[in-house]
Amino acid sequence: MAIGVCGFDNSDVLSGRPYGGCAIFWRKTVDAQITVVDTWSKRMCALRIRSNFANLLLISVYMPYEDSCKNSSRIDEFVSMLSAIDYLNSQHQDCFIIVG
């Protein structure tokens, strides 16, 4: 099984490293309750796993990169993604969080 997000569609012509996608894969036979968490982001996907052993929140994120030019839009986007991760963490406080 899998969830994933893609930052753009096939009609865009992109160069450099603008943004990309990310995914989380898991075995269909895993003995746990798995819930896809809506992140409202083209850069991040999340999955909540509840089992008898632990509650986990898995987050896969394609972070914006920072460059030496101090481009303020990139810094704002970077901080925005960190805020989104923090928000998910606050919404799932009963879980251990793993960010990749």
User: According to the model, what pLDDT value does residue 19 have?
Assistant: 59
The structural domain count of the chain equals: 1
**What DSSP string describes the chain?**
-EEEE-SS-TT----SS----EEEE--TT-SSEEEEEP---SSEEEEEEE-SS-EEEEEEE-PPP--TT--HHHHHHHHHHHHHHHHHHHHTTTSEEEE-
Q: Which domain holds residue 85?
A: 2-99
Return the biggest CA–CA distance within the chain.
48
Q: In a structure prediction context, what are the per-residue pLDDT tens digits for the chain, which is 100 residues long?
A: 888 887 666 666 666 555 567 888 888 888 899 999 999 888 899 999 999 989 999 999 988 776 666 667 777 888 888 999 999 999 999 999 999 9
State the pLDDT at residue 4: 81
